[in-house]
Amino acid sequence: MTSMKSVIHLGFVFVMGLVLISGCANERDQPARKAIFILLDGIPADVLESVETPVLDEIARVGGYTRAYVGGEKGGTSESPTISAVSYNCMLTGTWANKHNVWGNSIKAPNYDYWSIFQVAENFNPELKTAIFSTWEDNRTKLLGEGLEATNNLQLDYSFDGFELDTIRFPHDDNRKYLLDIDELVSARAGEYLEEKAPDLSWVYLEYTDAMGHRYGDSDEMINAVKLADNQVGRIWKTIQEREQSHNEEWMIVITTDHGRTADTGKGHGGQSDRERTTWIVTNRNELSPAFHQQPGIVDIMPSICAFMGIEMPEAVRASLDGRSFLELD
């Protein structure tokens, strides 16, 4: 005859087994969190707001849209040129130029002590899969510093870039249409690869909008370029929606730009005028803090993605950030 103590013990073991099984099931049921950030070059906030962009509008309805800024603290030690590569690195590292030391598109001497989001992700979990889709190869080789000792030999799992160097396939015409052709290729491949492989962290960079701004300024050509970019984002957004529906995944998409343009013609940038500094952010996440709607900086994107993905930074990296997450997560 089984003793009462044995019955109680067996009951305890049975209940604890159920708890453990339930805990493991709940852990398995947790969706994998993945993120992609997209930079559409050189679109001022006032231009974006004046153009029909059904894809970006749809994403913003799911999450949010806000005006943002680049250029650091105007007149302060962090003031940074409103130039493309400078702002890219502000986004990647969560710091302004006085720290990451990229002051122009030549990218002469980056300070890799300020880690990019890819290096942070790889340090946190080497199993995370990473990818870049870019018109401009320097984004990977110089800004991210792939394969360099200074970046702990950072190696992305997949790269699709460097097409601006292929003048046979993409002859460099005066009206810069070759950049549109490259952006079409890059955005299409990004959509395909995300559907096939779903990397954990990806960056997409598209350039044609900036080329139209430099050549034509505030113009119908610029407006049309923004519409084309919206359509290119749509390929990626569609893939994310499909993966969330058919896989156990939860995605964060962030779309932004690197600078505005001069107020007189819209052809230039680099200075500290309000229009050159005023940019924007679109995201599908709706766990947005009040700070998101108070003109965040481009440096806030990196810590926001890390917060969403649960990526913990080394204390030295976290302490060096100029940006702060604009998400309110449980």
Kind of pairing, strands 249-256 and 64-69? unpaired
Q: Which two tokens stand for residue 305?
A: 């993605």
pLDDT tens, 221-277?
999 999 999 999 999 999 999 999 999 999 999 999 999 999 999 999 999 999 999
Q: How many residues does the chain have?
A: 330
Kind of pairing, strands 32-40 and 249-256? parallel
pLDDT tens, 25-68?
444 578 999 999 999 999 999 999 999 999 999 999 999 999 99
Q: Whole-angstrom Cα distance, residue 283 to residue 256?
A: 9
pLDDT over threshold 70, residue 8: no
pLDDT over threshold 60, residue 11: no
Let me know: does 254 contact 37? Beta carbons within 8 Å. yes
Alpha helices in 36-133 (DSSP H): 45-50, 54-62, 84-93, 97-100, 117-124
- End-to-end C-alpha distance for the chain, whole angstroms: 50
Q: How far lies 140's CA from each of 26, 88, 108, 124, in Å?
A: 37, 11, 14, 20
Query: Which pTM was predicted?
Result: 0.91
pLDDT tens, 298-330?
999 999 999 999 999 999 999 999 999 999 997
Domains of the chain, with CATH numbers?
Answer: 33-320 (3.40.720.10)
Average pLDDT, the chain: 93
